[in-house]
Amino acid sequence: MSAMGWDIMKFGARADGATLNTAAIQNAIAACHASGGGRVTCGPGVYRTGSLRLKSGVDLHLEPGCRLVGSTDLADYADFEAPGAHPERSPEKSSKSLIRAWDAEDIAITRRYFTNQGTPYSESSFFQSDSYVVELLIKPDQN
């Protein structure tokens, strides 16, 4: 991934916990991807969002104090209609999710610093530790 960075605030995000930031965050992800990849940065604050789609080459980076909060309005979540997706087989029987990716490679959700029961981690991927914000559930295709 490139060292270039895209701050979601520059795309109109507001860290007030009330503003729906889906479009601002998704636009930052799209700009990052279109430029060949890099880091999309979410600074301190609470960002309410609906469905986000990660794209190739994008590191969604959560700075200390950042919280991505899912909207309570189901209308803010797009249906997951990727080829081969089977939402009826998911535990929730739902086609809606907060963060998703398909047809993508070299993606990450990272945080500069967080703790796992008192043990510090630095520049860690949530998918590589026991402490994470987004759970990645991989199931074999059951045709």
Residue 21 DSSP SS3: coil
Which residue type does 13 have?
A
Residue 28 DSSP SS3: helix
**In terms of DSSP bridges, do strands 108-116 and 119-125 run parallel, antiparallel, or are they unpaired?**
antiparallel
**In terms of DSSP bridges, do strands 5-7 and 119-125 run parallel, antiparallel, or are they unpaired?**
unpaired
Predicted confidence pLDDT, tens digits, the chain (143 residues): 445 689 999 999 999 999 999 999 999 999 999 999 999 999 999 999 999 999 999 999 999 889 988 888 888 887 766 666 655 665 555 567 788 887 889 999 988 654 444 444 444 444 433 333 343 333 334 33
- Give the other-Cβ count within 10 Å of 35's Cβ: 12
- Give the other-Cβ count within 10 Å of 86's Cβ: 12
